Amino acid sequence: MEQLVESISKIPQLIVYGIISGSILTLGAVGLSLTYKILNFANFAHGDVMALGAFFALASLTFLRWLGVSATPFGSLSFGFPMIIAFIIAILLTAVTVIIIDRILYKKLRKTGRIILLVASVGVALSLRNIIQFIWGPDPQYYFKKIQIAKKILGIRIKPDEILIIGIAVLLVLLLHLFLQYTKMGKAMRATSDNMELARVTGIDTDKIIIWTWVIGSALAAVGGILVGIENKFITPELGWQLLLPIFAAVILGGIGNPYGAMAGAMIIGLSEEISTAFISTAYKPAVAFIILVIVLLFKPKGLFGGK
């Protein structure tokens, strides 16, 4: 009984951690959901694309440090100006890499069907992970060594970096929403997602849509990967593999192809993973996403909001 009370008293803090991790997962899940629906295949390399973004940022930071760019942190955040540049470079390089992979591999396999694409993406995932490991080695890499002191707000500990993480996720999700709802390209993407054949008949350039989908998906993934690095303070080549199951669970939970569902799914996964640690060993945290996935597949396979 006492133990239960103690577990429950941890929950408010864990909810905050859950929102942070849910924000990061959102960025991965939204991109995965879009590519899943528009390109019509489950991209098992998406987690490793997130890791790739994180490592491109690391490379940029190293390069800027070598150039001697001042890294004085902004206010109480743990990073400064170089991080902004790192975000931009990482987004660009990740998107370019993914488009190159699409042109030399996925594009040619598209006519053979989504299952072969899925298998190919498993190969891409392993190759990306090992390219990262080849360059940086298996040990954790740090963006910055500074240790940040958490602030206490209403008895809950949160670091300035973490507030920024949530802020960035909310901002990007909002931008994506505006893009999908109000721009011509966004509307074309939604149309393609609903029915590619019909979209093509109405004169939508579906190849252009595919490129845009990759760009948006990989940009969001790259940011998500970097935010993992900021939150955890370190990144490893295994990062992508660890993210894969939670983001897939989030996408299926929200209904494949529904970016808003993916956001909700990511929040549910993030919160459940963190809150579970009050009751079960932290070691089994990664299994929580799997258990939720199985429950969803059993009772609501089209996702919580799906089923049209």
Q: Which of 188, 252, 262, 271 binds another protein (CB under 8 A)?
A: 252
Distance CA 143, CA 136 (A): 13
Sketch the per residue contact string, 73 through 112, with another protein: x for CB under 8 A, - otherwise.
--------------------------------x--xx--x
Q: Which of 25, 39, 120, 269 binds another protein (CB under 8 A)?
A: 120
Q: Which of 74, 88, 137, 157 binds another protein (CB under 8 A)?
A: 137
Alpha-carbon torsion, ordered 256, 28, 283, 296, to 10 deg: -10
Residue type, 12: P
Q: Which is nearer to another protein, 103 or 157 (CB)?
A: 103
Report which secondary-structure segment, H or E, holds 141.
Answer: strand 141-142
We find the least distance from the C-beta atom of residue 294 to another protein, in angstroms, to be 5
Q: Which of 11, 92, 116, 164 binds another protein (CB under 8 A)?
A: 116
CA angle 276, 270, 289 (to 5 degrees): 70
Whether the CB-CB separation of 207 and 22 falls below 8 Å is answered with: no
One-character DSSP codes across 60-129:
HHHHHHHHT---PBPTTSS-BHHHHHHHHHHHHHHHHHHHHHIIIIIHHHGGG-HHHHHHHHHHHHHHHH
Report residue 67 as tokens.
């150039």
Report residue 186 as tokens.
């966004």
Q: Which of 134, 147, 155, 182 binds another protein (CB under 8 A)?
A: 134
We find the least distance from the C-beta atom of residue 249 to another protein, in angstroms, to be 8
Q: Please name which of 57, 105, 45 lies closest in space to residue 247, comparing C-alpha atoms.
A: 45
Sketch the per residue contact string, 4 through 43, with another protein: x for CB under 8 A, - otherwise.
-------------------------------------xx-
Window of 5-13, 14-22, 115-123, 175-183 that interacts with another protein by CB under 8 A: 115-123
- Site of interaction with another protein (CB under 8 A): 41-42, 44, 105, 108-109, 112, 114-116, 118-120, 122-124, 126-127, 130-131, 133-134, 137-138, 241, 244-245, 248-249, 252, 281, 283-284, 286-287, 289-290, 293-294, 297-298, 301
